Structure 1
Amino acid sequence: MLQSSTIKTVRIVEKILERLSGHHLLLYRKNSDGDTALHIAARLGLEDIVRVLIESAKGDFCLKRLTRKVNRESDSALHDAARNGHLGVVRLLIQEDRKLALLTNSAGESPLFLALERNYFDITRELLDSTEKCSLAGRRGMNALHLAVIYLHEGMS
């Protein structure tokens, strides 16, 4: 069940989007860090707000235009959700746009690499199980397989 403050916040976001009445430019607008509202909601794990933003973009027929937007570090909203351990948001984003799992940021990191690196194994499994193709890329020439081997070795020590 949603808490009262969450319900109020979701309603505020819905009202702002209603006021845009067909001019959803704010939905796609970036702040000084290159983040859209979707990036921020994904980073904070605000699943209900992510859902509202996605539905608004669908109504605008520009869902992929929103979900595939990247910030100054070339992070998508999926990168932000995976990096911060927000499984529900990861599920929502992947359900709407499976190709997000193929994107890498400016450091060469995939959402899968970021999740695995931070021991978010539930997100790692979700990305591997719910996408046909998923980037394994990581930074400095490493990839998700490298991390899996390292974690396996550390677990055996």
Structure 2
Amino acid sequence: MENPLTHEASAFINFRNYKFQDPRSHGHRWVDLKHLRFPPESGEARELLSALIGHEQFRDDYAGGGVLSEGSRHGPYWLRRVTPDAYEAVSRERSAHILRGWVNQLGDVPAELEADLQQEVVDRLAAADHIYYLNGLGDEAVHDWGRVHEHFHEFVLIDRSTGRITLLVTADD
């Protein structure tokens, strides 16, 4: 069966590219966004999550290897362990709280980075009809070198008005 999602674009925000007062403050953090289009007749969120998990763009270990069409890892997890049931529906407020805590864990960020985060992350959260959070899958789901990320957060944003699903990943490495 053909996947109904079409990869549209990606964005990557590397905290190292911004001037922090203390150069060690960026903490090797980054945000990765993958935007995929879905057809208007697409079903419920669970079907969209399943399509996302089955899409080639989901096969990314976020450790420098990029998207591997035959990959068996997703972030720190074995791909086979990630299912639609692993995602929890969360409010805009909760998702913003999780992200803000992660962003500011080493203090305030530069104004330029804050502006980019507003445009790429916060505005997309505000526009989403549904937000899902991949909530810790447990030790048995972590692959052989999956602990390379100290903090790994993943959100799926569904915006039916634009027909877009966005995979939003933040991590420290």
Q: Which category describes the TM-score, using the shorter chain as reference length? A: under 0.3
How high is the TM-score relative to the length of structure 1?
A: 0.22
Q: TM-score under structure 2 normalisation?
A: 0.20
Q: Which has the larger radius of gyration?
A: 1
Structure with the larger RCO, 1 or 2 (CA within 8 Å, 6+ apart): 2
Greater fraction of residues in helix: 1
